[in-house]
Amino acid sequence: MSLDENMKAGVAAAGSTRLKVPQSANYAFTSSAIKLNNKPLALHTTSNKALIDMRNEIDGPEGDEPKDMWKWLQKTSSKSIDKKIGNCGEIAAVALTELVKLKVKVPLEYVYVMDGTTMNAVVPHVFAVIGRTGGANKDDLSTNIGRPSSWGADAVVCDPWDRVVYPAAKYDMFWDGLKKHSQAPDSLTCVLIAYVI
């Protein structure tokens, strides 16, 4: 698929995802937070307790195999849609299931932004990736896949938590916000956690 097709799929998935999962515990930190009297709208905000309670209802992956990780993402997506809450991880999982419903035929991946030196989560932050060159079907899901600008001309970052979709080649300009939360800001990298099979 072309960059244009991947962008359209990403926008469709991000939009339907946020309609299905409107609330986040950290909504105030999104670049698109709508505020009234300097507070984020209640209709988009949930408590940390509600989020933790929901996460406790989801069993972890049964194993480290790609099929196990994909099943876990599907369970996470289903629970998040049911409760209408999620932070970036749950919302990225929902976006991947939406992309599958759209019959997107390029690699679809669940990617974690990490601090490359300490390998700790930066914010942490998770997003979906559409059409990364050389993407998906990796034997080693912990593979450091670098920065989005290295993923090919047609790759797209689908970040429905923040209600945004970017061409991956242009994503480096958005790393400044992540660097503020990093222990080693010059070493930010992405790690492939799971992919759609």
Helix axes 66-83, 48-56, angle to 10 degrees: 130
pLDDT of residue 141: 55
Tell me if the bond preceding 148 is cis, omega within 30° of 0.
no
Encode pLDDT of 24-47 as tens digits.
887 666 767 677 787 777 777 888
pLDDT band at 116 (very low <50, low <70, confident <90, very high): low
Q: Is the pLDDT of residue 119 over 70?
A: no
pLDDT of residue 78: 97
The total of structural domains in the chain comes to 1
Phi and psi at 46, nearest 5°, equal -130, 170
Q: Which domain holds residue 37?
A: 3-195
Q: Distance (Å, rounded) from C-alpha 143 to C-alpha 96?
A: 20
Q: What angle do CA 46, 48, 53 make, to 5 degrees?
A: 100
End-to-end CA distance of the chain: 18
Contact 169, 133 (CB under 8 A): no
Q: Distance (Å, rounded) from C-alpha 100 to C-alpha 183?
A: 35
